[in-house]
Structure 1
Amino acid sequence: MAKAYLQITLIINAQEREAAVNVYTKYKEPFLSGIAGAVSKELLVRDEDVQVLHGFNSEAEANAYLESDLFTNDVVVGLKDLLQAEQEIRIYNTF
């Protein structure tokens, strides 16, 4: 069970959503198998935005992912042309 969640909210036009889903799908397995403390990753799609919810064993591991090569060099680069606004990043702890 995750003890911390990283929520990234993305504003992406409806026409670009499929491309965003492709980025999510491409990097889901490398995230789960290669990022320390990663336990889950879910894509939440609403009319107004797309959210990616990442589960971790700890808040420190969630913060470390944000500085990882997978996030900065792959995910961010893959999404940058799709974003209509700056991504919103939040980390939550569970108790």
Structure 2
Amino acid sequence: MVKAYLEIILTIDGLDRAGVTAVYTLYKEPFLQTVKGALSNDLLTHIDDVQVLHGFDSVENAQEYLMSDLFNKDVVTSLRPYLKGLPNIKIYSVT
């Protein structure tokens, strides 16, 4: 059962949605298979931004993912060419 959501909103140019979607697709399964407590991963696309919504079994595991090599070295590095500004990152607890 999902107990926490990690929401990451990325501002991008509309034409870059395909690139961001490709990065999401590349790392979706490794995220679900290797990240402690990962339960779901969804990509919501809009003309101005994309939102990645990660489901976790705890807030602590969501916080740990933000410190992981998968997130910082792989995902962030791959997304960098598409970003317009800093991402908006929030962790929500499910009550």
Which TM-score bucket, shorter chain as reference? over 0.9
Would you identify which runs of 4 or more consecutive aligned residues in structure 1 move more than 4 Å? none
Any idea what SS the aligned residue of 1:80 has?
helix
Sequence identity (%): 49
C-alpha deviations, 1:12-47, integer Å up to 9, x for none? 101111000000000000000000000000001122
Question: Counterparts of 2:49 and 2:2 in 1: how far apart (Å)?
Answer: 24
Unaligned runs of 5+ in 1: none
TM-score, normalised on structure 2? 0.98
Gaps of 5+ in 2: none
Aligned length: 95
RMSD of equivalent CA atoms: 0.6
- Is the Cα–Cα contact under 8 Å of residues 9 and 88 in structure 2 kept in the other structure? yes
**Aligned amino acid, residue 24 of structure 1:** Y
Alignment pair present for 1:14 and 2:14:
yes
Query: 1:70 Cα deviation (Å)?
Result: 0.4
For residues 28-87 of structure 1, what are the alpha-carbon distances to aligned partners after superposition, in whole Å with 9 as ceiling and x for unaligned?
A: 000000000000000011222100000000000000000001000000000011001100
In 1, Cα distance between the equivalents of 2:78 and 2:88? 16
